[in-house]
Structure 1
């Protein structure tokens, strides 16, 4: 039973950082991030309010919450990128995503505004990522929860995974 819940939580598995991250890998990750808003939009454009309330697992988030979470998370990520590019190894500000998902603008607010945010945000974010130099890709921020340094190139991979992870949640919820 616990294994089943883990599979529902992580339908594509947890992020695994490759040993070697090359230019081709980064380009693939950026393409995943670029395509995410359209893929999400295609998955949810014809869903009813009742269907948007479906969950991908027991006690998991609804489709509403997943989409609104992606807008919140990806806004935070873009800001972290900009901080990392303009400061010397900044310590980023974490946020309580589970509590954010319970706020009224996440829980049952129409997804159209978050879909618009994702479209515009990803357009700018992809432009920024496509124009990073090798030196900028190596720049790092510190995540205060685990004191780990994360490079921008690794963070691109994390967010490509994040896109696929939550797209899989939406698809799974639709099938429930």
Structure 2
């Protein structure tokens, strides 16, 4: 990826918290815990997952930057979601956590030298992942879940 394309991807990554907050503004409180079907996540579940995933994303990026070539731990997102008492978790706190972690890592990424983008971590399921690939994965991860939030909201509205 050339530096201009990477800068555009980094901008998309950095604006993720704003895009997530904007998506949530359209969600009425009554829709937060609506599940569109058995085994499907509610909007609250999606936002909590994004916050937890961002914790892993931050640690993974920092591993690539500070300890290139080292392994990272995989995690079972469904087990994490199932073990959380979602009803007691405020969406606003999850959004704040997501925003803070994104802001911290985006600031660090902007300051990196060109050579850092080819450094990698060793993921147990994906193999070697460069920092550039990491950025693409996590920017895409949010986009996937923004679409999921939109679909869940539409399903809620269809049932209301």
- After TM superposition, is the score higher than 0.5? yes
User: What CA distance in whole angstroms lies between the structure 1 residues aligned with 2:45 and 2:55?
Assistant: 15
- Residue 54 of structure 1: which of 34, 57, 60 is its match? 34
Q: Secondary structure at the residue paired with 1:94?
A: coil
| Matched length | 154
- Residue 151 of structure 1: which of 112, 130, 150 is its match? 130
2:81 counterpart residue number: 101
Q: 1:29-108 maps to which residues of 2 (within 5 A)? A: 29-45=9-25, 47-55=27-35, 59-105=39-85, 107-108=86-87
Distance 1:131 1:56, change over 3 A: farther
User: What CA distance in whole angstroms lies between the structure 1 residues aligned with 2:50 and 2:139?
Assistant: 12
Q: Quick check: 1:55–1:61 contact (8 Å CA) kept in 2?
A: yes
1:118 counterpart residue number: 98
User: What CA distance in whole angstroms lies between the structure 2 residues aligned with 1:25 and 1:140?
Assistant: 19
Q: After TM superposition, give the deviation of residue 158 of structure 1 in Å.
A: 0.8
Q: After TM superposition, give the deviation of residue 48 of structure 1 in Å.
A: 3.6
User: What CA distance in whole angstroms lies between the structure 2 residues aligned with 1:165 and 1:46?
Assistant: 17
Q: Secondary structure at the residue paired with 1:68?
A: helix
Gaps of 5+ in 1: 1-20
TM-score, structure 2 normalization: 0.88
2:158 counterpart residue number: none
Q: After TM superposition, give the deviation of residue 30 of structure 1 in Å.
A: 1.2
1:168 counterpart residue number: 147
Distance 1:57 1:29, change over 3 A: farther
RMSD: 1.7
TM-score, structure 1 normalization: 0.80
